[in-house]
Chain A
Amino acid sequence: MKFNDNIFNSELATQRRAEAVIANPPDTFDTLLKEYIALTGQYAKLLKQAIKLTSVGDGAQRKLMRIRNDLQERNIRIQAQKAKLEQLNQKLENASVTDPLTGLHNRRYFLSFIEGEFKTILTTPAPEIDFGPSLLFLLIDIDHFKVINDTWGHASGDKVLVQFCDLIRNASRKIDTLVRWGGEEFLMVCREADRGYGATLAERLRQGVADHRFDIGTDEPITCTCSIGFAYFPFIASFPTHMGWSQVLDLADQALYAAKNSGRNAWVGVNTVEPDHTRQNPPPSFHGLRELVASDWVALSSSLGDLNDVRL
């Protein structure tokens, strides 16, 4: 037996033989009948094969369809599981960047968020406002919080913290980011803050806290005050890379310290003075707020009417 490249070789041979008989019919009826019987036999065999092949082929297709359907179902299940996992991940992620007591963001969140903000500001072209895009860093610290804890207990201290956060929240805009920075210290990072916003916000917060009656479950609600320091990034709009965000945050912290130092229930802001836009060179590097204030690049603002009362 010889094999070419066709699985129907023997069937083709049968057909060729039948055609040869037609082209050149045998002389006798008996010979013709023999050929006819052989051809019918081949035909019957071929038909039987065709029937089996059709049935087997349908079976194979059914199997493939079933496998496909199984895969589709599995895929749907996997997609559902994936969505669930993503949801769970999101929850975990939220939990890992949230302070459980106050619901504010924690430091971890701030650190992941600030780099992006930083880049956005440095790459966004200055719009038509005075000093271009900026961030306000505003630090708030509850005055004498330790006394509250020591007098009324930590549970009461927690109540104060929660109500304090509500005050901050109510004073903030949607685009501001609120962070519990430390035990009783909070950071607000405000986008799109013009250079007057810090003073307005700080005064609103100072006043709001001082006026608030904190309900800690005692007969009489208690009062407390806060101190605030703020500074803007970019520190000098015409030289936006002169100070990084961490240096500006450090200035805000020093301003907060000055507010504490000056009697508390007060705010101190660090503003740059840019009398004209003609300065060609950035300022020298400054070490500390005191040195900065001594230069002609900075003007403080404060809730203390007389800036001479601000003790750096």
Chain B
Amino acid sequence: MQKLELAKTVDTPQVSFDPTNGQFHVEGESYPENALDFYGPVFESLNQYIEMTNGPITAHFKLSYFNSSSSKCLLDIFDILEAFHSVGGKVTVNWYYQVEDEDIKESGEDFADDLSLNFSLVSFE
């Protein structure tokens, strides 16, 4: 299985997923013209991984802005992680927010709500 690497653009975040250690990163701003075009390969990569192994996934989200379509795609990513967790996969989520950015912090809390994942809110300067 190949490593996923999407470089940051003006309207999409940098995304990477390394199947050798399960490290998953999303960082930047997200308001792509077509959310499914952008996040489709991400879903595919994660799904492929959880079908193949039961190794751990550590997901890092460091987003400063995302639109509604991207939010929907993030929810779907959390669904995939939740499904993996429910069959015994080890999942850790770190949601990063800049100190004083209450809105990004609260959106992390919104996403975490009702999930049974190990979900941490991490502030940075």
B47 within 8 A of A: yes
Q: Is B104 within 8 A of A1, CB to CB?
A: no
Q: Is A55 within 8 A of B104, CB to CB?
A: no
* Size category of the binding interface on chain A: 20 to 34
Interface residues of B in 73-116 (CB under 8 A from A): 73, 75-76, 79, 101, 103-104, 106-107, 110-111, 113-114
B53 within 8 A of A: no
B69 within 8 A of A: yes
A48 within 8 A of B: yes
Q: Is B114 within 8 A of A3, CB to CB?
A: no
A207 within 8 A of B: no
Q: Is A63 within 8 A of B36, CB to CB?
A: no
Count of interface residues, chain B, beta-carbon cutoff 8 Å = 29
A56 in contact with B111 given A5-B36, A63-B65 (CB within 8 Å): yes
A52 within 8 A of B: yes
Q: Is A52 within 8 A of B68, CB to CB?
A: no
A281 within 8 A of B: no
Q: How far is the CA of A52 from the CA of B72 in the complex (A)?
A: 9
Q: How far is the CA of A121 from the CA of B117 in the complex (A)?
A: 85
Interface residues of A in 1-45 (CB under 8 A from B): 1, 3-9, 45
Q: Is A6 within 8 A of B68, CB to CB?
A: no
Nearest B residue (CB) for A9: B36
Nearest B residue (CB) for A64: B65
CB distance from A98 to the nearest CB of B (A): 50
CB distance from B98 to the nearest CB of A (A): 11
A59 in contact with B72 given A1-B43, A3-B43, A3-B44 (CB within 8 Å): no
A241 within 8 A of B: no
Q: Is B40 within 8 A of A3, CB to CB?
A: yes
Contacting residues, chain B, for A49 (C-beta < 8 A): 72, 75
B interface: dominant SS? helix
Q: Is A7 within 8 A of B72, CB to CB?
A: yes
Q: How far is the CA of A63 from the CA of B66 in the complex (A)?
A: 11
Contacting residues, chain A, for B68 (C-beta < 8 A): 53, 56-57, 60
Q: How far is the CA of A62 from the CA of B114 in the complex (A)?
A: 23
A53 in contact with B106 given A1-B43, A48-B114 (CB within 8 Å): no
CB distance from B26 to the nearest CB of A (A): 15
Q: Is A53 within 8 A of B40, CB to CB?
A: no
Q: Is B71 within 8 A of A56, CB to CB?
A: yes
CB distance from B86 to the nearest CB of A (A): 13
Cβ-neighbour of B36 out of A3, A52, A59, A64 (below 8 A): A3
B120 within 8 A of A: no
B4 within 8 A of A: no
Q: How far is the CA of A94 from the CA of B110 in the complex (A)?
A: 61
Interface residues of A in 270-308 (CB under 8 A from B): none
Q: Is A56 within 8 A of B110, CB to CB?
A: yes
Q: How far is the CA of A7 from the CA of B36 in the complex (A)?
A: 5
26 example contacts (A-B, Cβ-Cβ < 8 A) are as follows A4-B36, A7-B36, A7-B39, A8-B72, A45-B79, A49-B72, A49-B75, A52-B75, A52-B110, A53-B68, A53-B72, A55-B107, A55-B110, A56-B68, A56-B71, A56-B110, A57-B68, A59-B103, A59-B106, A59-B107, A59-B110, A60-B67, A60-B68, A60-B71, A63-B101, A63-B103
Closest 7 CB pairs of A and B: A3-B40, A63-B103, A59-B103, A56-B107, A59-B107, A55-B110, A56-B71
